[in-house]
Structure 1
């Protein structure tokens, strides 16, 4: 498997836009979407970024690294030192590092990464099926 980095960059930018919109327009969305969508989208972005960085890895390896990174960031929120807390109080720091540990975020991260894996499986299935039908053709990359 080899991912198309252009597609993953586009998916990353779209996910950033959706994540920022989910925070900006949270009052207009159903409460559960406003509360949890941003965290799931953040983990989905991490999935796209890992896939972009290591395009030959399988989906499960990308998922494991993305989920491990997301869980580490969440657990880092239990650690408080002045410089790190000051960084978390900036908008970029808040978006990347979060502010406080929540168990529900771990579930959202898992869901976001699973969405990435599911989308990859849907997009890559036609390429795999066509290569099985005609072994001489090279599977398309996404």
Structure 2
């Protein structure tokens, strides 16, 4: 029984962190003038990877490193999908939800931002949440 309580608490924590990350990303996007330009360029993509990591963590019990690899692959796939230019997906990308989820243009620097965000989320999970115990 104790195992289920820990699992539920951890799942709730992951969802809470993902929600806070979404809020932080939207705040940065709305209040761009409060932050340095270079921060505005890369923070959104790094936070996207953080959010994805914790959302996936809330629904799976995979090993931490495997989750990080999956998230990085998904983020990279989304970024590379921006090279695919057809009318229907471009129409989706021009909406706010489409732009937030699918992005709008391929940039190599976004790949670095995703790697940094994924690494950050992995280490937060490993050091503060999982405490080096491995996936349960």
**Superposition TM-score tier, normalisation by shorter sequence:** 0.7 to 0.9
Equivalent position to 1:42, from 38, 48, 65: 48
> Which residue is equivalent to 1:69?
74
| Contact residue 42 and residue 112 of structure 1 kept, 8 A | yes
For residues 77-124 of structure 1, give each alpha carbon's deviation from its aligned partner in whole angstroms, at most 9, with x where no partner exists.
000110100000000000000000000000000000000111012113
> Which residue is equivalent to 2:85?
80
TM-score (norm 2): 0.88
Alignment of 1:1-142 (within 5 A): 4-54=10-60, 56-123=61-128, 124-125=130-131, 128=133
Unaligned residue ranges in structure 2 (runs of 5+): 1-5
TM-score (norm 1): 0.84
Q: Quick one: distance in 2 between partners of 1:32 and 1:80?
A: 27
Per the TM alignment, residue 28 of structure 1 is displaced from its structure 2 partner at its CA by 1.6
Q: Quick one: distance in 1 between partners of 2:94 and 2:123?
A: 34
| Contact residue 26 and residue 33 of structure 1 kept, 8 A | no
Unaligned residue ranges in structure 1 (runs of 5+): 129-138
Q: Quick one: distance in 2 between partners of 1:115 and 1:22?
A: 18
Instruction: Kindly report the root-mean-square deviation, in angstroms, between the aligned alpha carbons of the 2 structures.
Output: 1.7
